[in-house]
């Protein structure tokens, strides 16, 4: 039998009338996904911290996609007040939310704290998106066929949830902290789908990862650390080894719109070590399937963010 045809952005169906929010949609994976959604006539919202960069990205998308509907809204995931402000503004402007792409994130940066005192990677990559999803849950549940897409990483495999020190106040290690935040993305997806199913709702919670894609994410940590050598190496790796950001965005696009996606799926590249390739269901670590840890993390996340989900 012939192999199944590789899925590409050309397989995205018409998205007319669909509202899609992409956090961090001004660059990298988020930008490429937003561009393809706009090309298929979705109403796309770039939810970004830097409004100037977001407006530039929106203009580029509009120039590349005839008739594109692209809006820009301010969202700083490292500040829960900003997350609530975004939710309030979204509720005033939109009655439906078909896809929430929780894409924005930081990777392997020096120790920093969010405005609310959380370790920056855990606070931005997990808690910010946890709060955002909870605050937009009513719109998601009221929209037929809605999905939450959480962008995780293969780095979840070396992560662990340090319940005794989630904020890394002792012995901070930037890569392990990143791994914790990405494992948290998968546990959040697992528990969200479990709660949705228990409530008899139709929302799909799906996770994905881009593999090794050429974006500016890799260079941020070295720049913040002042390491020109590591900055050069990250840029060289992007040029020589990584797939394009457009290819890296395919798992996000697939998770958001493909008809054969199921709640709790994890989508990534189908090539060697999930580094490159076309989107397909992929495996995850045993820790990412730990229901007890997912439930505990959910409870802690509600306490830390003061966002309580109402199904």
Q: Is pLDDT at 229 greater than 60 in this prediction? A: no
Evaluate whether residue 225 is within a structural domain.
Answer: no
Into how many domains does the chain fold? 1
Question: What gap in Å lies between CA 16 and CA 4, rounded to an integer?
Answer: 27
8 Å CB contact between 150 and 211: no
Selection from 42, 87, 38 nearest residue 58 by Cα? 38
Using left for φ > 0, alpha for ψ between -120 and 50, and beta otherwise, residue 226 falls in left
30 in a structural domain: yes
Interval 57-93: pLDDT, tens: 999 999 998 889 999 999 999 999 999 999 999 999 9
What is the pTM for the complete model shown? 0.92
Query: Residue 2: its pLDDT value, please?
Result: 39
Domain membership flag for residue 233: no
**Burial (CB count <10 Å: 0-12, 13-18, 19+), residue 148:** buried
**Which residues are the active-site residues?**
178
Residue 209 maps to a domain: yes
pLDDT at position 228 is 58
Q: Are 279 and 209 in contact (CB under 8 A)?
A: no
> Domain holding 120: CATH number?
3.40.50.720
Determine, yes or no, domain membership for 184. Answer: yes
SS3 of the chain: helix, strand, coil, percent, to 5: 50, 15, 40
Whether residue 231 is contained in a domain is answered as no
If you count them, how many residues does the chain have? Answer: 311
Specify if 240 maps to a domain: no
Q: H or E stretch including 304?
A: helix 291-305
Residue 307 within a domain = no
pLDDT digits (tens, 9 = 90+) for 1-46: 335 789 999 999 999 999 999 999 999 999 999 999 999 999 999 9
Question: What percent of the chain clears pLDDT 90, i.e. is strictly above it?
Answer: 86
DSSP 7-70: P-GGGPPP-TT-EEEEETTTSHHHHHHHHHHHHTT-EEEEEES-HHHHHHHHHHHHHHSTT-EE
- Output DSSP code: residue 78: T
Domain boundaries, position 185: 13-214+246-302
């Amino acid at each position: 039998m012939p192999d199944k045809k590789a899925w590409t952005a050309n397989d995205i169906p018409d998205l007319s009338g669909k509202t899609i929010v992409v956090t961090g949609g001004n660059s990298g994976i988020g930008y490429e996904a937003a561009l393809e959604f706009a090309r298929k006539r979705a109403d796309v919202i770039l939810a970004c911290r830097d409004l100037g960069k977001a407006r530039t990205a929106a203009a580029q998308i509009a120039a590349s996609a005839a008739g594109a509907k692209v809006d820009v809204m301010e969202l700083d995931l490292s500040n829960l007040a900003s997350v609530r402000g975004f939710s309030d503004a979204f509720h005033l402007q939109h009655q439906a939310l078909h896809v929430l792409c929780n894409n924005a994130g930081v990777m392997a940066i020096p120790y920093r704290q969010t405005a609310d005192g959380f370790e920056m990677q855990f606070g931005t990559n997990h808690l910010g998106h946890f709060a955002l999803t909870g605050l937009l849950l009513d719109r998601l549940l009221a929209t037929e066929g809605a999905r939450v897409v959480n962008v995780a990483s293969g780095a979840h495999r070396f992560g662990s949830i340090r319940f005794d020190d989630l904020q890394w106040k002792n012995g901070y290690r930037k890569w392990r902290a990143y791994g914790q935040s990405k494992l948290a993305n998968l546990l959040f997806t697992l528990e969200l789908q479990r709660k949705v199913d228990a409530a008899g709702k139709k929302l799909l919670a799906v996770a994905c990862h881009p593999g090794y894609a050429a974006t500016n994410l890799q260079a941020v940590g070295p720049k913040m650390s002042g390491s020109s050598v590591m900055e050069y190496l990250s840029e060289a790796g992007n040029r020589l080894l990584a797939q394009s950001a457009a290819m890296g965005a395919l798992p996000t696009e697939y998770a958001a719109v493909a008809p054969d996606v199921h709640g709790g799926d994890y989508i990534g590249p189908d090539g060697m070590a999930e580094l490159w390739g076309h989107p397909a269901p992929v495996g995850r670590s045993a820790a990412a399937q730990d229901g007890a840890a997912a439930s505990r993390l959910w409870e802690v996340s509600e306490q830390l963010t003061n966002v309580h989900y109402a199904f």
